[in-house]
Amino acid sequence: MVSATISTYQETCKRFRPTPAKSHYTYNLRDVSKVFQGIAKSDPRAIPEDNNLIKLWAHECMRVFQDRLISMDDRDQFFALMQEKCT
């Protein structure tokens, strides 16, 4: 999960660069920390299977990284990235 999160962070930084119209597309290691904080705050009883942990991880990555994306094309690209990472 750690390596997948770091890989997702690196891919997000590479694919979604800030432009004048999208100046808020800046990511840093604090965002990686937010993913793990969200996972750590979850109730362990809500994660009975490994599959549920993967879903929680994907949700947290989408909450932290995808919520900043403003165009549907960027959101779709990030969703495809998450599908790739989840498999």
Walk me through the domains of the chain, giving residue ranges and CATH numbers. Answer: 2-86 (1.20.920.30)
pLDDT score, position 24: 87
Q: How far apart are CA 22 and CA 69, in angstroms?
A: 8
Residue 34: the pLDDT is: 96
pLDDT per position as a tens digit, 8-58: 999 999 999 998 988 888 999 999 999 999 999 999 898 999 899 999 999
* Rounded CA separation 10/12 (Å): 5
Q: How far apart are CA 57 and CA 35, in angstroms?
A: 7
Instruction: Tell me what pLDDT residue 15 has.
Output: 93
Cβ atoms within 10 Å, residue 55: 13
Whether residue 72 has pLDDT greater than 90: yes
What is the predicted pLDDT for the residue at 46? Answer: 85
Q: Return the higher-pLDDT residue of 64 and 21.
A: 64
What is the predicted pLDDT for the residue at 75?
95
**Closest C-alpha among 56, 14, 17 to residue 37:** 56
